[in-house]
Amino acid sequence: MTKLAGITALLLGLLTCPARAQGQAAIPRTADGKPDLSGIWQVLNTAAWDIQDHAASLGVPAGQGVVEGNEIPYTPEALAKKKENYANRRTADPETKCYEPGVPRVTYMPYPFQIVQTATYIAVLYEYNHITRHIYVDGTPHPKGPIDNWFMGDSRARWDGNTLVVDVIHFTDQTWFDRAGNFHTEDLHVVERYTPTDRNHIQYEATIEDPKVFTRPWKMSMPLYRRTEPNIQLLEYECYTMLQEQKAAR
């Protein structure tokens, strides 16, 4: 093989190398070889307002949905409840009471969050209302019931190749998926998948199950973007209820 032919073959090999393989090589890794998800991340979508396709309205930006197929498979009774929630959303949304948003809603609130990762434990620190989430990667099981359920549920995780799979149960029914009234009961079961695609992007998926509300499991997905500004840090966001705001204005 001539020198020119060798260079040509090398260039062709680089050009045909799958983009995914190049991205995998750029993924930061911990000392034990696992993807390092540490950093400050944020979504760039309107799912906090409505996880399905929606037009703009007063105070609500138009947006494309994050639900696979744009369909949420409600039972007829649950769909009627969702419509009632939507009609009363300005006061019925648990966010207006400053409750913790729950999982997966906290991920796509319009505020950044920070992942701090160790081999057996991952903390997620959210700018919204000083929330801290605990994800255990140590092989311990969910605590057995009956127990008091939590707004953020109980998170137990494992690695599936480059994907962090988080199983979340033990929810309260006092959270919604968005400001449009999409809801669940205390039987909610969420399986999250965090898959880094390169240094600055994570593909996030959440599979939702709740037999009291939905006829089948369904999934939402979205990219998470690393915040790369110099000296980026979480700032303060203190939630106030309408009653607190009215008192403060007096």
Whether 21 is covered by a domain: the verdict is no
Give 174-195 pLDDT, tens digit per residue: 999 999 999 999 999 999 999 9
Measured over the CA atoms of residue 18, residue 20, residue 21 and residue 25, the dihedral's sign is: positive
- Return all residues near 243 (Cβ < 8 A) that are at least 6 apart: none
Whether 3 is covered by a domain: the verdict is no
Residue 7 has pLDDT above 60, yes or no: no
What's residue 149's pLDDT?
A: 80
Residue 14 has pLDDT above 50, yes or no: no
Whether 148 is covered by a domain: the verdict is yes
Residue 245 has pLDDT above 70, yes or no: no
Residue 93 has pLDDT above 80, yes or no: yes
- The CATH number given to whatever domain includes residue 227 is 2.40.128.20
What's residue 145's pLDDT?
A: 72
Give 39-60 pLDDT, tens digit per residue: 999 999 999 999 999 999 999 9
What's residue 6's pLDDT?
A: 52
What's residue 148's pLDDT?
A: 74
Whether 157 is covered by a domain: the verdict is yes
What's residue 10's pLDDT?
A: 46
Mean pLDDT, range 116-140, rounded to an integer = 97
Whether 20 is covered by a domain: the verdict is no
Whether 16 is covered by a domain: the verdict is no
pTM, full prediction: 0.88
Residue 196 has pLDDT above 70, yes or no: yes
Residue 74 has pLDDT above 90, yes or no: yes
Amino acid present at 125? L
Mean pLDDT, range 207-220, rounded to an integer = 98
Whether 10 is covered by a domain: the verdict is no
- 32: containing domain: 27-249
Number of domains in the chain: 1
Mean pLDDT, range 208-227, rounded to an integer = 98
What's residue 238's pLDDT?
A: 92
Contact by Cβ (8 Å): 177, 184? yes
Whether 7 is covered by a domain: the verdict is no
Pairing type for strands 132-136 and 154-160 reads parallel
Identify the CA nearest to 185 among candidates 214, 145, 222. Answer: 214
Identify the CA nearest to 110 among candidates 43, 55, 57. Answer: 43
